[in-house]
């Protein structure tokens, strides 16, 4: 931590996953960078990503095919120009990771040469997923962390919650000049100034009772950007991963899509397959279709879970391709080489977010958003598997180029308004936060989940309005804590999700409502503006 209570840098990066650290390493060549990490550097969604990263490496594949697959998965409302930009820059972005030292799996071809082992996942028409066994995120995150910690121009501040963005000016002259950040260790708020600020905070799946995400995924960047006046889009499209392990000791453990890509079947408790009844691609159907099918079968049968079965494959094949999942399941008394895995859907990915352009720039000068926190137009109504880490790296590189072009012309912030807590006290009613926390996540799961109705959304809207008033009163009178900051952000994001869902009078991609089960003839992104 710098000695000054008001550190100033060229680039402030809020978030330390693939998006944040990729940007930091790109910028540190010529700029002073501060990275805020909400928890330890090895925490966050990147670390837990299993499947891989999509890019065209096979000669039989093509960029055009990657584009068309992504557009198809996005259910007609992706931004084609963004999809094309991402696919065109995919291979060079992965090559950058490879050059940094990410060790993707390789295999020996028929002619004896070594090449990357490519797997296939739902929605993809070709094998184009580079992976590091079944722990790709861990390989990427570990490499980025080691490189960032070794760089003299990167200052990492662990255990810091960003509180709010610092904005100066009025009207067209408004500009982001840094952020307030609360130290978990010191229990105090710092004011950090920067020429440029980047939100790389991940998604908001913690707004739901059941999620595959780590605890830090509380929608902080989306909520902060909204409070700062930024537009958000497509917040109704929350991806529920179809296959999370159903076990009391592993509630957040994800079972990668690559299992189905390598031949795993989804089965009812009686052992019969059900996906062929729902989609021509069966287990390789898009995630929204698979999640709804599992949800439907569980409700129809009154079952606690469905099952994912790859035990018909050779034992050596399973252990070689999924060593970490195999080891984890064994520790829980489940042998996936001999028996099916119990699974349920869980909130997994936020397809909407803060609106950005092809440079990852928001509509607030000086502020960028990269990765799951952003709405670029890449994912549309549903994210295709293994496009998420790809988006992080592609747009981190785009943001770095854009910032560098403007670095010399952008002054460092001079005088910043310091944090004032002279009129607040320590809370003596922490139970209120805990109660509101559980209520929020439960009604979001029940009313704004995989299947929605207008009545459920109305109920959710009334409840979130009451909660936000309570949270506002509490925030105004007491010193901040981690739980209070996260609850404040989750309630804001919940409101945005509900409003967006109410505006979409159709069922498309991840948004399915019983009151409007068909596609609308004309459709596009759902845009919300705070101004």
| Cα–Cα distance list, 33 to 29, 153, 265, 388 (Å) | 10, 6, 46, 24
* One-character DSSP codes across 321-347: H-HHHHHHHHHTT--TTTSPEEEEEEE
479 is catalytic: no
What is the DSSP-derived secondary structure letter of residue 172? Answer: G
What is the DSSP-derived secondary structure letter of residue 173? Answer: G
Phi then psi for residue 343, to 5 deg, are: -140, 155
Name which of 424, 510, 469, 404 is nearest 10 in CA terms.
404
For residue 125, give both structure tokens: 């028409």
What is the DSSP-derived secondary structure letter of residue 405? Answer: H
Q: SS in 3 state form for 344-383?
A: EEEEEEECCEEECCCCCECCCECEEECHHHEECCCCCCCC
Contact 160, 36 (CB under 8 A): yes
Element (DSSP H or E) covering residue 197: strand 188-199
Task: Give every CB contact of residue 520 below 8 A, 6+ residues apart in sequence.
Answer: 505, 506, 508
Contact 401, 30 (CB under 8 A): no
Question: Helices in 264-335 by DSSP H: which ranges?
Answer: 287-301, 315-321, 323-331
Q: How far is CA 503 from the centre of its chain?
A: 23
Task: Give every CB contact of residue 422 below 8 A, 6+ residues apart in sequence.
Answer: none
Hey, CA dihedral for 466, 443, 250, 346, is it positive or negative?
Answer: negative
Name which of 89, 14, 19 is nearest 396 in CA terms.
19
Orientation of helix 90-100 relative to helix 388-406, angle to 10°: 90
Phi then psi for residue 402, to 5 deg, are: -65, -45
Choosing from 260, 287, 488, 508, the catalytic residue is 287
For residue 59, give both structure tokens: 């000669």
Q: Please state, in angstroms and rounded to a whole number, the distance separating the CA atoms of residues 177 and 168.
A: 7
Element (DSSP H or E) covering residue 178: strand 175-183
Catalytically annotated residues: 287
């Amino acid at each position: 931590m710098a000695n000054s209570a008001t550190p100033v840098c060229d680039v402030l990066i809020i978030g330390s996953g693939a998006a944040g650290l990729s940007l930091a390493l790109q910028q540190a060549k010529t700029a002073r960078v501060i990275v805020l990490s909400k928890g330890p550097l090895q925490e966050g969604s990147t670390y837990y990503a299993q499947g891989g990263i999509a890019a065209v490496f096979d000669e039989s594949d093509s960029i055009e095919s990657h584009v068309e697959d992504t557009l198809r998965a996005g259910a007609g409302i992706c931004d084609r120009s963004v999809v094309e930009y991402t696919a065109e820059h995919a291979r060079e972005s992965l090559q950058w990771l490879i050059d940094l030292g990410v060790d993707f799996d390789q295999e020996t071809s028929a002619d004896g040469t070594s090449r990357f082992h490519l797997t296939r996942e739902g929605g993809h028409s070709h094998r184009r997923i580079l992976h590091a066994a079944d722990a790709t995120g861990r390989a990427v995150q570990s490499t980025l962390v080691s490189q960032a910690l070794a760089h003299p121009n990167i200052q990492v501040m662990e255990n810091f919650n960003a509180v709010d963005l610092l904005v100066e000016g009025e009207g067209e002259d408004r500009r982001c000049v840094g952020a307030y950040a609360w130290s978990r260790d010191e229990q105090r708020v710092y004011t950090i100034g920067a020429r440029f600020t980047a939100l790389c905070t991940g998604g908001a799946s913690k707004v739901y009772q059941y999620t595959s995400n780590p605890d830090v995924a509380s929608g902080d960047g989306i909520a902060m950007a909204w409070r700062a006046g930024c537009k958000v889009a497509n917040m109704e499209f929350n991806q529920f991963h179809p296959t999370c392990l159903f076990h009391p000791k592993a509630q957040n453990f994800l079972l990668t899509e690559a299992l189905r890509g390598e031949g795993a079947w989804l089965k009812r408790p009686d052992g019969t397959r059900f996906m062929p009844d729902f989609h021509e691609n069966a287990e390789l159907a898009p995630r929204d279709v698979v999640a709804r099918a599992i949800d439907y079968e569980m409700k129809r049968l009154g079952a606690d879970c469905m099952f994912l079965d790859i035990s018909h494959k050779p034992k050596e094949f399973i252990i070689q391709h999924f060593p970490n999942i195999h080891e984890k399941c064994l520790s829980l008394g489940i042998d996936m080489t001999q028996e099916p895995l119990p699974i349920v859907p869980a909130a997994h990915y936020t397809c909407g977010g803060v609106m950005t352009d092809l440079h990852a720039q928001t509509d607030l000068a000086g502020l960028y958003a990269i990765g799951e926190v952003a709405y670029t137009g890449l994912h549309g109504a549903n994210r295709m598997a293994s496009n998420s880490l790809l988006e992080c790296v592609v747009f981190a590189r785009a943001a770095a180029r854009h910032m560098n072009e403007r670095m010399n012309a952008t002054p460092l912030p001079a005088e910043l308004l310091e944090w004032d807590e002279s009129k607040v006290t320590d809370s003596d009613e922490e139970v209120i936060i805990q109660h509101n926390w559980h209520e929020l996540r439960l009604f979001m799961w029940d009313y704004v989940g995989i299947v929605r109705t207008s009545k459920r959304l109305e109920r959710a809207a009334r409840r979130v309005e009451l909660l936000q008033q309570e949270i506002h009163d509490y925030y105004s009178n007491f010193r901040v804590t981690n739980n209070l900051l996260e609850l404040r952000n989750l309630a804001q994001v919940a409101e945005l999700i509900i409003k967006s869902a109410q505006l979409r009078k159709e069922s498309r991609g991840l948004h399915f409502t019983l009151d409007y089960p068909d596609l609308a003839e004309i459709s596009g992104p759902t845009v919300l503006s705070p101004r």
